[in-house]
Amino acid sequence: MSLRIADDAPNFTAQTTLGEIDFHQWLGDQWGIIYSHPADFTPVCTTELGRTAQLKDEFAARNTKVLAVSTDSVESHNGWINDINDTQNTQVEFPIIADTDKKVSTLYNMIHPNFSTTATVRSVYFISPDKKIGAIITYPASTGRNFSEILRVLDSLQLTAGHSVATPVDWEVGQDVIISPAVKQEDVEAKFPKGHRVVNSYLRYTPQPNK
């Protein structure tokens, strides 16, 4: 059965370019992103892994670990990393899972048989520190991911996990957010001391609480 938002993130052990890992143990109390690639030595994947490496400090600032997956071997991954580093002017330092038995790909529904029975699609799973699925994004092999959007989703998940707010359409960090309908109007002033504005009974804005 496919994974859904708020489901437990399945644990697994796997061989990676940084050695064997137990996923939950490796993640610890941090946020995580696990994402899949159709194959090594392919052009779109090369740009994506390069971009991930370039964003190392951005993920670290968000207390987030990144883990990539494809069904190729560790040896293949290591050779590919040399190409990524060279062509993308970066250093890949995060682990890439060698999912040759497709165990992880199957657990996370990354193989879509109508697309391919062997290669994964471009799935992205956001994992919260309590090991729950926070969000899922899936792209076809022909569409490279937008990492600005991945960071934006991560920022929204982390913000809304700690405050009674939601992020509106096209929200970016620093912009106003929406007060949850569950917060009674008489409690808003105490809960959101930065102020708020009321559009109607269910649409109320407040400055981003953690900025």
Q: Which residues are catalytic?
A: 45
Helix axes 147-162, 43-54, angle to 10 degrees: 50
List % helix, strand, coil for the chain (3-state, nearest 5).
30, 25, 45
Q: What is the DSSP string of 75-140?
A: HHHHHHHHHHHHHHTS---S-EEE-TT-HHHHHTT---TTT-SSS--EEEEEE-TTSBEEEEEEE-
Q: List, in order, residues 6 or more apart from 206 with CB less than 8 Å away.
A: 165, 176, 177, 178, 179, 188, 192, 194, 195, 196, 197
Q: φ, ψ for residue 14 (rounded to 5)?
A: -155, 155
Helix axes 43-54, 74-88, angle to 10 degrees: 70
Q: Please tell me the distance from the alpha carbon of residue 117 to that of residue 119, in angstroms, as a whole number.
A: 6
